[in-house]
Amino acid sequence: MQSFDAVDPATGKVFAQVHEADDVLVGRAVNAARRALDRGWADTPVQERVALLRRAADGIERRFEDFVAAEVRDTGKPVTQARNLDVARAVLNFRTFADIVAAAGEEAYLTDLSGGRQALNYTVRKPLGVVAVIVPWNLPLLLLTWKIAPALACGNAVVVKPSEETPSTASLLAEVLAEAGAPKGVYNVVHGFGSGSAGQYLTQHHGIDGVTFTGSSDTGAHVMRAVAPRVRPVSFELGGKNAAIVFDDVDVDDALDGLSRSVFTNTGQVCLCTERVYVQRRIFDDIADGLVRRAQALRLSDPWSDDTTTGPLISEKHRHKVLDYLTVAEEAGATVITGGGVPTMGALSGGWWIEPTLWTGLTNKDRAAREEIFGPVAALIPFDTTEEAVTLANDTDYGLAASVWTNDLRRGHDVAQRMRTGISWVNTWFTRELRSPFGGVGLSGIGREGGEHSLHFYTEPTNVCVQL
At 287, which CATH number?
3.40.309.10
Same structural domain, 408 and 330:
yes
Same structural domain, 306 and 210:
no
- Which pLDDT belongs to residue 362? 98
Quick check: is 373 in a domain? yes
Same structural domain, 200 and 73:
yes
Residue 316 CB-density burial (10 A; 0-12 exposed, 13-18 middle, 19+ buried): middle
Same structural domain, 366 and 451:
no
Same structural domain, 25 and 123:
yes
Same structural domain, 65 and 79:
yes
Q: Classify the C-alpha dihedral 68-73-75-77 as positive or negative.
A: positive
CA distance 184 to 9: 34
Name beta bridge partners: 357: 377
Quick check: is 431 in a domain? no
Same structural domain, 48 and 196:
yes
Beta carbons within 10 angstroms of residue 413's beta carbon: 14
- Which pLDDT belongs to residue 10? 98
Concatenate the DSSP letters of all residues of 415-439 into one string.
HHHHS-SSEEEES-SS---TTS-B-
Quick check: is 433 in a domain? no
Quick check: is 266 in a domain? yes
Residue 62 neighbours by CB under 8 Å, 6+ apart: none
Quick check: is 187 in a domain? yes
Quick check: is 339 in a domain? yes
Quick check: is 190 in a domain? yes
- Which pLDDT belongs to residue 355? 98
- Which pLDDT belongs to residue 302? 97
- Which pLDDT belongs to residue 1? 76
Write out the residue range of the structural domain in which residue 337 sits: 242-426
Beta carbons within 10 angstroms of residue 305's beta carbon: 12
Beta carbons within 10 angstroms of residue 386's beta carbon: 17
Same structural domain, 180 and 116:
yes
Catalytic residues: 237
Query: What CATH number does residue 99 fall under?
Result: 3.40.605.10
Quick check: is 366 in a domain? yes
Same structural domain, 382 and 321:
yes
Residue ranges for the chain with pLDDT beneath 70: none
Q: Give pTM, 2 decimals.
A: 0.96
- Which pLDDT belongs to residue 251? 97
C-alpha neighbours within 13 Å on the C-beta side of residue 340: 15
- Which pLDDT belongs to residue 156? 98
Among the residues of 302-447, which ranges form H helices? 316-331, 386-394, 409-418
CB 361 within 8 A of CB 333: yes
Same structural domain, 206 and 259:
no
Q: Classify the C-alpha dihedral 100-101-103-108 as positive or negative.
A: positive
Same structural domain, 42 and 138:
yes
CA distance 401 to 387: 18
Same structural domain, 220 and 265:
no
Q: Look at the chain and report how many structural domains it folds into.
A: 2
